[in-house]
Amino acid sequence: MKLNIARSFAKNSTRMIQMKPRLYLLLALTLLFAISAAHAQSQPCVVASLGFPAPGPTVVKVPVPSGTCIETPGAQGRLRWDNNHNGMLELYDTDDNGALLWCAHLHDGNRTCAVGQSFCLQSDGNAVIYPFPNCTGAILWESNTVGANVGGEEMLVGDGAQGFCGITGEKAMILNHVNTGFVCPPVWTSTSFDPS
């Protein structure tokens, strides 16, 4: 009886020793994924708004650098372009654990986020996601604000809790007349938002 118990203990101990590295690896990968996901949403932004190029006789397209994050002071949202090289334009909530509020959707009638290689602000007032670098290829997503670049135009994040431009919740938006002070209402806002 003692011999069987000893053998059983030895067998179980060997199994435990073999499983420990697997468990540690699984735990490490789980923690790494959770930390990187939380880190992406909690990274501070250094840009308060993005300015469009001035209008002119030809359309100038300015690519927004990969990893750009807009966080307007006091707003509870962050707009990120190409976060972790995912090729998407996304609005995250900063007061509800970094939840995704909105992404720029493809113009195909479904809810698929547009994935491109360049996000560009254009002198004609349009914000566009293109499939290729340097603002080239067929448009995947656009703000449909051609002609709205009057008196300077900027993309920023607004917060309705602060009474900003009469919006509700956190939204990405485009405002014009920024050279003389913002003019509300926005010429474009993201369609999904956090009402809190």
On whether the pTM is more than 0.85, the answer is: no
The per-residue pLDDT for range 71-99, each reduced to its tens digit, is: 877 768 899 999 889 999 999 988 767 88
The per-residue pLDDT for range 88-131, each reduced to its tens digit, is: 999 998 876 788 889 998 866 667 899 999 999 999 999 999 99
What percent of the chain has pLDDT above 90?
Answer: 40
Backbone dihedral region for residue 109 (phi beyond 0: left; psi -120 to 50: alpha; all else: beta): left
Question: Domain boundaries in the chain?
Answer: 1-42, 50-189
Label each residue of the chain as H, E or C.
CHHHHHHHHHHHHHHHHHHHHHHHHHHHHHHHHHHHHHHHHHCCCCECCEECCCCCCCCCEEECCCCCEECCCCCCEEEEECHHHCCCEEEEECCCCCCEEEECECCCCCCCECCCCEEEEECCCCEEEECECCCECCCCEECCCCCCCCCCEEEEEEEHHHCCCCCCCEEEEEEECCCCCCEEEEEEECCCCECC
8 Å CB contact between 119 and 89: yes
The per-residue pLDDT for range 149-175, each reduced to its tens digit, is: 888 899 998 887 777 788 888 889 999
What pLDDT shows up at residue 140? 94
Listed residue (194, 196, 174) closest to 185, CA to CA: 174
